[in-house]
């Protein structure tokens, strides 16, 4: 025995829009709470939430007159909204096409004078040798210890904070003259 499944939120929204489009009328919430369960099988408890979601998405218009709230949605407004969206998307498509064409032209222009030559095309062996050479050179570079790096940071701070000159700081704290960053 299968249980009867209720309507999904999207189905409720669609059915609620059908009420407006079929009648082409203006409703109050109380009227919709009577019509929706009877004609479209939308539970009375969910009518207000569904209606509010449609108002929030600008699919249904609402206005307060005195103490009453009125709701309406006409098919012509939906058609107009779709036409506006189509024009907007066509404009975006045209902009993207223009940008694509511009970039393709830039690629062609940039390629002039950069034809493939023997020097530009390195064999895999040459690339491997170059990579090995670079690694060996990097291993031979001595690195500063964190203490040496801190010395330079403290020297900069003292110079900026108290206006000392570098040679005064070196002399006061016995920092060797040959201590320097490796470049």
pLDDT tens per residue, the chain (183 residues)?
456 677 888 889 999 999 988 888 899 989 999 988 888 888 888 899 999 998 998 888 899 999 989 999 888 887 888 898 999 999 999 999 999 999 999 888 887 777 666 555 655 555 555 666 666 666 665 555 555 567 777 778 778 877 778 888 787 777 777 776 655
The pLDDT assigned to 9 comes to 86
The pLDDT assigned to 94 comes to 94
Per-residue CA distances from 73 to 21, 82, 92, 107 (Å):
7, 14, 28, 50
Tokens of 54: 């449609």
Q: Which residues contact 172 (CB under 8 A, 6 or more apart)?
A: 164
The pLDDT assigned to 135 comes to 65
- The answer to whether 13 and 50 are in contact (CB under 8 A) is yes
The pLDDT assigned to 120 comes to 58
Phi-psi region of 33 (alpha: psi -120 to 50; beta: other; left: phi over 0): alpha
**Rounded Cα distance, 39 and 28, in Å:** 16
- The answer to whether 53 and 12 are in contact (CB under 8 A) is no
The pLDDT assigned to 146 comes to 55
The pLDDT assigned to 95 comes to 94
The pLDDT assigned to 140 comes to 65
């Amino acid at each position: 025995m299968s249980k009867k499944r209720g309507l999904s939120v999207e189905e409720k929204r669609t059915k609620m829009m059908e009420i407006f489009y079929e009648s082409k009328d203006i409703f109050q919430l109380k009227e919709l709470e009577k019509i929706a369960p009877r004609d479209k099988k939308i539970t009375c408890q969910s009518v207000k939430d569904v209606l509010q979601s449609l108002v929030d998405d600008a699919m249904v218009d609402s206005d307060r007159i005195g103490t009453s709230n009125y709701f309406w949605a006409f098919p012509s407004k939906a058609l107009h909204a779709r036409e506006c969206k189509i024009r907007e998307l066509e404009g975006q498509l045209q902009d993207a096409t223009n940008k694509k064409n511009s970039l393709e032209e830039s690629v062609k222009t940039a390629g002039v004078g950069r034809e493939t030559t023997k020097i530009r095309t390195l064999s895999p062996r040459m690339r491997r040798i170059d990579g090995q050479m670079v690694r060996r050179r990097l291993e031979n570079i001595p690195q500063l210890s964190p203490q040496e790096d801190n010395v330079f940071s403290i020297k900069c701070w003292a110079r900026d904070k108290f206006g000392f000159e570098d040679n005064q700081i070196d002399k006061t704290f016995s920092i060797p003259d040959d201590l320097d960053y490796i470049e």
